[in-house]
Structure 1
Amino acid sequence: MVSKEYPRIGETMLHARLENGLHIYVDQKPEFQKSYAFFAANYGGMDMKFRLDGVWQDTPAGVAHFLEHKMFDTEDGNALQDLAANGASPNAFTSSAMTGYYFESTEKFYENLKILLSFVSIPWFTRESVDKEQGIIGQEIRMVEDDPDNQVFYALMECLFDHHPIRVPIAGTRESISHITADTLYACHKAFYTPSNMVLTVAGNVDAKRVIETAREILPRESGGRIERDYGTEERGKAAAPGKQLRMAVSTPIFQLGCKADTAPAGEERLRRQLVSELACEALLGTSSPLYADLYRKGLINKNFGYGFEQYPGCALLAAGGESREPEAVRGAVLAEAQRLAERGLEEAFFQRLKRSGYGARVRALNSFETICIEQAQAHFAGFEYLRFPELYADIGREHVEECLRRLADPERWALAVVRPGGQA
Structure 2
Amino acid sequence: MSFRAKAIALGTGIAAVCTVPLVISVTADAAPDVLLSKGRPVVASTVTDAAHDAAKAVDGFANTSWAAALGPASQWLIVDLGQTQDVTRVRLHWAGGYAKAYRIQVSDDVSAWRDLYATTDGDGGTDDLKKLAGAGRYLRVLGTQRGTPQGYSLYEVQTYGPGPAAPATKTTAGASAAAAQLAAGLHDPKKKASALALVSSAENSTLDWRGEYDYLEDLHDGRGYTGGIVGFTSGTSDMLALVTEYTRRSPGNRLAPYLPALRAVDGSDSHAGLDPGYPAAWKAAAADPVFRKTQEDERDRMYFDPSVALATADGLRALGQFAYYDAAVMHGMSGLREIRAAALRKAQVPKDQTGDEIVWLNAFLNARVAEMRTEPAHRDVSRVETAQRTFLRATNLDLNTPLTWKVYGETFTIR
TM above 0.5, yes or no, is no
The normalised TM-score by structure 2 is 0.23
Larger Rg: 2
Bigger RCO of structures 1 and 2 (CA < 8 A, at least 6 apart) = 1
The normalised TM-score by structure 1 is 0.22
